[in-house]
Amino acid sequence: MNAEPKSMQPENPKRCCPICKEPEDKKYHPFCSKRCADIDLGRWLNESYVIEGSDSPSTSEEDDFTD
């Protein structure tokens, strides 16, 4: 019997794609493919765009308070 606590060990020699949890491809580090890299990039751009858009009006209001 081989009682190796594999699932209990957090040690991971291979990194996983943050998008789909597949083993990463060095070419697309840290992703497994260009598709996942594009997904992450699109998500990041979309997030920053939304933050910028919704932050603009509240920032000007706060600026009034700071003064």
| Interaction site with Zn ion (CB under 5 A) | 17, 19-20, 22, 32, 36
CB 13 to Zn ion: min, Å:
18
Task: Output the smallest distance, CB 33 to Zn ion, in A.
Answer: 6
- Distance of closest approach, residue 61 Cβ to Zn ion, in angstroms: 40
- Output 20 or 51, the one with its CB closest to Zn ion: 20
Q: How far apart are CA 6 and CA 1, in angstroms?
A: 14
Of 35 and 51, which has the nearer Cβ to Zn ion? 35
Between CA 48 and CA 66 the distance in angstroms is 24
**Which residue's CB is nearer to Zn ion, number 21 or number 45?**
21
Question: What does the alpha-carbon distance between residue 58 and residue 7 come to, in Å, rounded to a whole number?
Answer: 47
Of the CA atoms within 13 Å of residue 46, those in its CB half-sphere come to 6
